[in-house]
Amino acid sequence: MTLWFVFALMTVAAIFAVLWPLGRAGRAQGQDTENQGSEVAVYKDQLAEIERDLAAGLIAAPEAEAARIEIGRRLLAAADSQPALDGRASLKWRRAAAVLALVGLPLVAILVYVPLGSPRLHDFPLAQRDRAPGMQQSLENMVVQVEQHLEKNPTDGRGWNVLAPVLERLGRYDDAVRAYRNSLTYNGESAERRSDLGEALLAAAGGVVTADAKAEFERAHALDAQEPKANYFLGLAAEQDGRKDDAAAIWRGVLAKAPPDAPWRALVQSSLARVGGGSAAPALSDDTIAAAKDMSEGDRGAMIRGMVDRLANRLKQNGDDVDGWLRLVRAYVVMGERDKARGALSDAREAVANDAERLRQLNEGLKNLGLDG
Amino acid sequence: MTRKQRRMTIIGGSLAVLALAAALVLNALRDSIVFFSTPTMVAEKHIAPGKRFRLGGLVQPGSLQRGDNLAVTFEVADGSAKLPVAYKGILPDLFREGQGVVAEGALDASGVFKADTVLAKHDETYMPKDVADALKKQGHWKDDYGAKGNATPAATTAQGNPQGAVR
Amino acid sequence: MIAESGHYALVLALALALIQSFVPLIGAWLRDPALMNVARSTALAQMLFVGASFVALVALHVTSDFSVANVYENSHSMKPLIYKITGVWGNHEGSMLLWVSILALFGGLVAAFGNNLPLSLRAHVLAVQAWVASAFYLFILITSNPFLRIANPPIEGRDLNPVLQDIGLAVHPPMLYLGYVGFSISFSFAIAALIEGRIDAAWARWVRPWTLVAWIFLTLGIAMGSYWAYYELGWGGWWFWDPVENASLMPWLAGTALLHSALVMEKRNALKVWTILLSILTFSLSLLGTFLVRSGVLTSVHAFASDPTRGVFILLILCVFIGGSLSLYAARVSSLKQGGLFAPISREGALVLNNLFLTTACATVLVGTLYPLGLEVLTGEKISVGAPFFNLTFGPLFVPLLIAVPFGPMLAWKRGDLLGAAQRLLAAGIVALLALALVWAWAHGGSALAPPAIALAVFVILGSVTDLVERVGLFRAPFGTAMRRARGLPRSVWGTAFAHAGLGIALIGIVCETTWNSEYIGTMKPDDVAHVAGYELKLDGLFQRQGPNFREMIARFEVGRDGESLSVMTPSKRSFTTRGSSTTEAALLTRGASQLYISLGDVTNEGAIAVRIYHKPLVLLIWWGPVLMAFGGLLSLSDRRLRVGAPKPARAQPRLQPAE
């Protein structure tokens, strides 16, 4: 409401600016025209200036005389041609102008403003918003907050550790690279971080193992020769360089050392199949997908189990995700592992115990799964 | 002098100055303008060694090598061709592998582009105009270019699975 | 509420401008003072409303209201307050709002201080001003509205570009705009004169102070922009003949010509037709500059073609105003009365020469700026026209102009005595030749053109001094008399002398910097010593420092000369961790008018750092020159002659004029 009041006030002020001279003219007109400058005044002043210059000895007498004549001529001409102002005010036109101001001006203002403006939106200065309750916190906003925190405290290694994978998942690969770099700086070296950095570099380059990325994997390998991720990508680098045999050798090594339930076995196997099969095409995407399709039943099961394990791991770190817990429980049920399902259930209860709202959601979800109790 | 003569003097003088200016401009346009090329265009046109031109493209990732005393070499690529560039001096702050670059200089006898100026006048989301245009023309442009410096558009997306799986 | 009020204020300004566009014209036609005076109050109201709108946008940026799209895209809550404010005009929408604010400011100033103008002239001028304003209000509201909102405001803004966080970048655009847009007043005066069909000496007197104000700001704006590029970009270059720079140089050249031709018109009632044309051309070039910078044509012709709304809108404004004003000019020019006569050798003749060379030089810059664009549009071929082109065209045209500069003020109006002027300049000429010989003997290396150029600059400077000396009769009259005369000299004479001397000073700086600039580029390890132009720079070491939102690597150099320690220089490289970008902060050490300049490169694997060290002899003169020119302009502006016109109250008249 205040806004419309302000608008009205402004409009009135604008209308007043147009009406003021129209209304005032009647009274002050004589004085107005008298005060107004004219060419005559300028030429008179030029004449005075010549006198001053002459007195100061800046110009010679004959020059001054010539200039005086010239300006005198202009003065006469100007005095002749000076238009006499009409005393007779054209009331008709003044009324038209007044109507224009009273009707036209608000009309134009409204016609232009209404399609462009958003009068119903309030201001949102930052200071006010921090206090605003119930604001939906999207993932992006949370990331922004963490970034802000890190901007002020760039030495917070843990922060970078948390931020980096999130950025990568959001597709902000370049930022992820930076975050991993900072994480390395402030948390110290580790094979895992090096290979994470390499992976982000590779993602940023659109899937190509660049020299930078390769250097990171090599460093990771040097730190821990068993680091499976580094080894896998070193194999990929070899493949992209066209050294298929090397790639196959590396991957075979990875598989040999891999624990039997490692979730990534399937991937390495399919990659191995790709190069081992001697297929000439270096293309990646189609072949990988095809490999996944042709996977044996057991391999596919391993892949699913891998996914489930990752979910479980994530929830261990961050237990707030009710949907995640529900998915996990359901997954265990589907896989027939009721013990694990029950374990997950109690874990979930513990994780959300402090939050009545989430607990309610969880219980409802469980009811829907038919797993009450 | 009559009024007419005076006027002719002034008009004559103006024409003389204009003619001088026109001559200067034409002369300068012949000698001192610099053409813009991408590596592909260089390969197609066979630009003679010693002729100055501007080379634009993306810095080939992994090609940057620093030598002694600020000498650097790198490759400029535009998707279908590459050209080695040699430069001595300090590279601009925004020079990065995989990012756009414009270098001015000439080819030497061995086909290496000797640059005397390297421009990387852009931030993360901006490409030098010439480079962007040239890449667009060759179909290597992606709208999200600013978001990720993507040098080789050949193999993308495939890594979606491995990333997730290994983690 | 702030956002919407600001938006609405802008809309009201448009409505007022529309009324101001034609009500005063009707008033002038009917000779009704009340209707004509509508121009005045609406111009003032317009100024207030646009001002309010601009203040609103500033407030939104300061409070980081990200529900406004413009703030979200161009600000960030972490920016220091000063850069939140300057960020307002660091983007397209905000800078256009600043543009119209300044336009309205000038309109308001004419309304407030234009009491010395005939009523109908003022009505016409303000009406024309309102045409320009209406066009740009529409442009802003339709294509570049800074007040558009986001319904679900994001929590954080997008821009925190460290390169843009610099005080030089913050200050120089408003200066430039004050210059650019200031020329709109001379444009409006020209159009008003054409509409009225009456142009005479008084017109020039009225228009000159406005032109002078615009010229002063433009001069300072260009100089400031150049200095910013010099210290911030880290290459030590100060002028790149970049299209954006050319866009500001062209109105400056045309505006300088306009200042001089308006002088002829004021004194001698001659060159009227030409002066009107120049007024139109100067503002047209300002509009062209706005178009080039704002439409995105420079970034990419293709970008322009793919998002044409803005570009086409400005192009339309450009065509309407330039085409319209030139057509009006063509239609009316024959009816203008011929002015006073003068011989080719005369003050007028010298000023014509000045105009000739300035406009021709301006035309070559125009060709150099537009040729690549035209060629690309027509043939698709990409070329760049850089410094060599302009050195070959602009340079030779400026030489005769500079030679003529000292002669101009020496010649009398109407018919001058070239020989007499030459005799009076003899001393200056001899000293200039001496300077040439000295520089030739002393300088080693560098272009053979440098000594003559220095001599020319010396000639220009001494020429302006000679003019002053001649006028006050120093050496001829007793010293006391001369001093008294010097005090009695009109300030515009002093202004002329300062401005011309500034030209010579800038030239010395330019020549010295380009010719005898010495540089050292290499890698240095701690305790290494670099020798540049007689200075020893020892790298003490590299230090790390944690700034508010960046980490800084500082290199500490100890500067000495002949074994004597002088000072310490600390160039640095800042890396902004979160954004992963870095900026180079050059270190400058001023010695007299010369400067040492260090900027850092990357650290090599062996722990050495790449450095660029320049010694730039007399480089500061490049900017002192324009400052002196602007000061000269200011002196001229304060001359009482330019304030003339308003009838003084009767009681003040008979008093003796104090010597000013």
Domain count, chain C: 4
Q: Residue C631: which domain range?
A: 425-516+622-640
What are residue C543's DSSP bridge partners?
C554
Asked whether residue C112 carries a pLDDT value surpassing 60, the answer given is yes
**DSSP codes joined into one string, C14-66:** HHHHHHHHHHHHHHHHHT-HHHHHHHHHHHHHHHHHHHHHHHHHHHHHHTT-T
Is A211 in CB contact (< 8 Å) with chain B? yes
Residues sharing a CB contact under 8 Å with residue C395, sequence separation 6 or more, in sequence order: none
pLDDT at residue number B133? 58
Nearest Cα of chain C lies from the Cα of A224 at a distance, in angstroms, of 24
Q: Do A174 and B149 touch (CB under 8 A)?
A: yes
Reading the block at residue C454, the tokens are 């220095």
Query: Cα separation of A252 and A236, whole Å?
Result: 12
CA A233 to chain centre: 31
Q: Taking 80 as the threshold, does the pLDDT of residue C640 lie above it?
A: no
Contact yes or no for C163 and B123 at CB 8 A = yes
What is residue C127's predicted lDDT score, i.e. its pLDDT? 96
Chains that touch B (3 or more CB pairs under 8 A): A, C
| Structure-model confidence comparison of residues A343 and A95, the more confident one | A95
3-state DSSP call for residue C580?
Answer: coil
Nearest to C213, CA basis, from C642, C633, C635:
C633
Tokens at C437, concatenated? 């010989």
A93 interfacial to chain C (CB closer than 8 Å)? yes
Cα dist. C213→A282, C19, C376 in Å?
Answer: 68, 27, 37
Report the SS3 class of residue C598. Answer: strand
How does pLDDT run across A209-232, given as a tens digit for each residue?
Answer: 777 888 888 888 888 888 888 888
Angle between helices C2-30 and C119-143 (to 10 degrees): 150
Whether B24 and B95 map to the same domain: the answer is: no
Chain B residues within 8 A (CB-CB) of chain A?
A: 61-62, 97-98, 124, 147-159, 161-167
In one-letter notation, the amino acid at residue B113 is F
Q: pLDDT > 70: what percent of chain C?
A: 92
Are both B1 and B16 inside the same structural domain?
Answer: yes
Q: Verify whether the Cβ–Cβ distance B155 to A174 is below 8 Å.
A: no
Same domain, B40 and B61: yes
Containing A280, the helix (H) or strand (E) segment is: none
Smallest CA–CA distance, residue C44 to chain A, in Å, is 8
Compute the average pLDDT of residues A136-151: 71
Instruction: Give pLDDT, residue A6.
Output: 93
Average pLDDT of the residues in C269-297: 88
Q: How far, in Å, CA of C416 to CA of C412, rounded?
A: 5
Q: Does C606 touch chain B (CB under 8 A)?
A: no
- Of C148, C113, C136, the closest CA to residue C317 belongs to C136
Q: In whole angstroms, give the CA distance from residue B31 to residue B22.
A: 14
Please compute, for residue B95, the number of CA atoms within 13 A of its CA located in the half-sphere on the CB side.
25
CB atoms within 10 A of CB C118: 28
Which domain, by its residues, includes B85?
A: 35-137
If asked whether residues B15 and B53 sit together in one domain, one would say: no
Q: What confidence score (pLDDT) does residue C355 get?
A: 93
Strands B82-88 and B113-119 turn out to be: parallel
**Are the Cβ atoms of A32 and C33 closer than 8 angstroms?**
yes
User: Do C35 and C156 lie in a common domain?
Assistant: yes
Are residues B118 and B106 part of one domain? yes
Q: What is the largest CA-CA distance in chain A?
A: 120
CA distance A348 to chain C (A): 31
Question: Any CB–CB contact under 8 A between A311 and chain B?
Answer: no
Whether the Cβ atoms of residue C10 and residue A111 lie closer than 8 Å to each other: no
Mutate to test the interface with C, among A124, A150, A180 (most CBs of C within 10 A): A124
The region that residue C556 occupies, defined by phi over 0 for left and psi between -120 and 50 for alpha, beta otherwise, is beta
The mean pLDDT of C506-530, rounded to a whole number, is: 90
**What pLDDT is recorded for position C253?**
96
* pLDDT band at B134; cut points 50, 70, 90: low
In the block, residue with structure tokens 């299209």: C243
Rounded Cα gap, residues C215 and C255, in angstroms: 7
Same domain, B45 and B123: yes
Q: Distance of alpha carbon C469 from its chain centroid, rounded?
A: 30
Q: Hey, what are C394's tokens?
A: 């602009």
Domain-terminating residue out of C416, C440, C465: C416
Distance CA A88, CA A95 (A): 14
- Determine the pLDDT at residue A344: 80
**Rounded-to-5 percentages of helix, strand, coil across chain C:** 65, 10, 20
Judge if C395 and C247 occupy the same domain: yes
* In a shared domain, residues C39 and C149: yes
Distances (CA, A) of B37 to A127, A252, B119, B150, C381: 51, 46, 14, 21, 9
Residue C453: band (very low, low, confident or very high) from pLDDT cuts 50, 70, 90: very high
Same domain, B72 and B103: yes
Q: Is A303 on the interface with B (CB under 8 A)?
A: yes
Q: What pLDDT is stored for residue A212 in this prediction?
A: 81
Q: Is the pLDDT of residue C271 over 80?
A: yes
How confident is the model at residue B147, as a pLDDT?
Answer: 32
Residues near A138 by beta carbon (within 8 Å), at least 6 away in sequence: none
Last residue of a domain, one of C416, C437, C468: C416
Contact A264, A228 (CB under 8 A): yes
Tell me: do C443 and C577 sit in the same domain. no
Taking the CA of residue B104 and the nearest CA in chain A, the distance in Å comes to 26
Q: C266 and C410: one domain? A: yes
Whether A166 and A143 have beta carbons less than 8 Å apart is answered as yes
User: Could you tell me if C430 and C511 lie in one domain?
Assistant: yes
pLDDT band at C454 (very low <50, low <70, confident <90, very high): very high
C81 and C171 share a domain?
no
pLDDT, mean over chain C: 87
Shared domain for B43 and B120, answered yes or no, is yes
* Residue C138, in any domain of the structure: yes
CA-to-CA separations, C273 to A43, C81, C194, C338, C343, in angstroms, rounded: 20, 50, 10, 8, 18
Q: Are B103 and B87 in contact (CB under 8 A)?
A: yes
**B12 within some domain:** yes
pLDDT band at C578 (very low <50, low <70, confident <90, very high): low
* Number of inter-chain CB pairs under 8 A, A vs C: 249
The DSSP output letter for A100 is I
Supply the ipTM of this predicted assembly. Answer: 0.85
Q: What is the pLDDT of residues C162-193, one digit of tens each?
A: 666 777 777 888 898 999 999 999 999 999 99
- Clarify whether residues C264 and C152 are in a common domain: no
Q: Which residue has the higher pLDDT, C406 or A260?
A: C406
Instruction: Out of A184-198, C207-221, C301-315, pick the least confident.
Output: C301-315
pLDDT at C99: 94
- Is the pLDDT higher at B96 or at C505? C505
Axis crossing angle, helix C308-332 with helix C119-143, rounded to the nearest 10: 160
Average pLDDT over residues C564-577: 86
Which residue stretches of chain B are H helix?
A: 3-32, 39-45, 129-137, 160-166
Mean pLDDT, to the nearest integer, of C92-107?
A: 94
Q: Is the dihedral of CA A264, A266, A269, A271 positive or negative?
A: negative
Q: What angle do CA A265, A267, A273 make, to 5 degrees?
A: 100
Task: List, in order, residues 6 or more apart from C388 with CB less than 8 Å away.
Answer: B28, B31, B32
**Exposure string (b/e) for A37-55, b if CB count within 10 Å is 16 or more?**
bbbbbbbbbbbebbebbbe
Domain match, B125 and B84 both: yes
Task: List the beta bridge partners of residue A64.
Answer: none
| pLDDT at residue A367 greater than cutoff 90 | no
Q: What is the pLDDT of residue B161?
A: 29
Identify the band that residue C323 occupies on the pLDDT scale cut at 50, 70 and 90.
Answer: very high
pLDDT for C79 equals: 79
**Model pLDDT, residue C362:** 95
Domain closes at, from C123, C138, C163? C163
- Give per-residue pLDDT as tens, C117-161: 888 899 999 999 999 999 999 999 999 899 999 887 877 777 666
Q: How far is CA A113 from its chain centroid?
A: 28
User: CB neighbours of C157 closer than 8 A, spacing ≥ 6?
Assistant: C64, C66, C71, C72, C73, C74, C75, C76, C77
Asked whether residue B84 falls in the same domain as residue B97, the answer is yes
- What does the pLDDT average to over A352-371? 72
Strands B65-66 and B71-77: antiparallel
- Whole-number Cα distances in Å, C49 to C12, C16, C52, C57, C605: 7, 9, 5, 12, 59
Cβ-defined contact of A45 to C206 (cutoff 8 Å): no
Within this chain, do residues C220 and C369 fall inside the same structural domain, yes or no?
yes
Mean pLDDT, range A245-267, rounded to an integer: 80
Closest to C356 (Cβ–Cβ): which among B14, B24, B29? Answer: B14
Measured CA to CA, the distance from residue C216 to residue C180 in angstroms comes to: 11
d(CA C241, CA C449) in angstroms, rounded, equals 21
Residue B98 lies in a domain: yes
In a domain, C656, yes or no: no
% of chain A at pLDDT higher than 90: 9
Residue-wise burial string across A124-134, b where 16 or more C-beta atoms lie within 10 A, e elsewhere? bbbeebeeeee
Task: Please indicate whether residue C630 or residue C576 has the higher confidence score (pLDDT).
Answer: C630
For the ranges A147-156, B145-154, C68-77, C434-443, the lowest mean pLDDT is seen at B145-154
Spatial CA neighbour of B129 closest among C229, A205, C382: C382
Is the Cβ pair B32, C364 closer than 8 Å?
A: no
C557 Cα distance to chain centroid: 36
CA atoms within a 13 Å half-sphere pointing along the CA-CB vector of B72: 27
pLDDT score at A221: 86
pLDDT tens digits, one per residue of A29-77: 544 454 566 778 888 888 888 888 788 777 778 888 888 888 888 888 8
Give the CATH number of the domain where residue B48 resides.
2.40.50.140
Residues C135, C29 within the same domain: yes
C340 and C376, same structural domain? yes
Asked whether residue B138 carries a pLDDT value surpassing 80, the answer given is no
C148 CB within 8 Å of a chain A CB: yes
The secondary structure of residue B145, as a DSSP letter, is T
Q: Indicate whether C151 and C197 sit together in one domain.
A: no
| Cβ contact C32–A89 (<8 Å) | yes
Tokens 């000679």 locate to C466
Q: What percent of chain C shows pLDDT beyond 90?
A: 47
pLDDT mean over C414-437: 90
What is the reported pLDDT for B54?
85
Which residues on chain C are in Cβ contact (under 8 Å) with A104? Answer: 15, 19
Q: How confident is the model at residue C5 (pLDDT cuts 50, 70, 90)?
A: very high
